[in-house]
């Protein structure tokens, strides 16, 4: 039980530190670099989609889907929403930049 608690505390600590680090890194990015940064995040989410598809295919085809299959399905849904939303925002930002150049 103590090993589980120790690993849980370590995981929560890493998660909280990642939140603070991510906030600090993103807040320092100038507005001109937000579109390329979002494109990179979309690529990472695309990799997540491929991994979730693979894992959910293996787990659901085994006949008895467990918690990993449902987590893979949830990851697939969330990553898809992230990619679609990211492309919509990127497209809107690029249209705004193109509109400024036309005027």
Domain range list for the chain: 31-102
Q: Give the separation between CA 103 and CA 85, rounded to whole angstroms.
A: 28
How many other C-beta atoms are found inside a 10 Å radius of the C-beta of residue 47?
10
Residue range 76-90: mean pLDDT, rounded: 87
**Cα(54)–Cα(41) distance, rounded to whole angstroms?**
20
Instruction: Answer with the residue of higher pLDDT: 1 or 37.
Output: 37
Give percent of the chain with pLDDT exceeding 70.
92
pLDDT tens digits for 27-66? 887 777 776 777 777 888 888 889 888 888 777 777 777 7
């Amino acid at each position: 039980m103590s090993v589980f608690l120790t690993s849980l505390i370590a995981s929560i600590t890493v998660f909280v530190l990642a939140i603070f680090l991510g906030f600090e890194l993103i807040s320092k990015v100038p507005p001109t670099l937000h579109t390329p940064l979002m494109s990179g995040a979309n690529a990472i989410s695309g990799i997540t989609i491929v991994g979730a598809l693979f894992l959910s295919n293996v787990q659901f085809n085994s006949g008895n889907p467990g918690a990993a299959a449902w987590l893979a399905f949830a990851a697939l849904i969330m990553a898809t929403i992230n990619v679609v939303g990211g492309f919509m925002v990127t497209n809107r930002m690029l249209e705004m930049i193109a509109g400024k150049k036309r005027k």
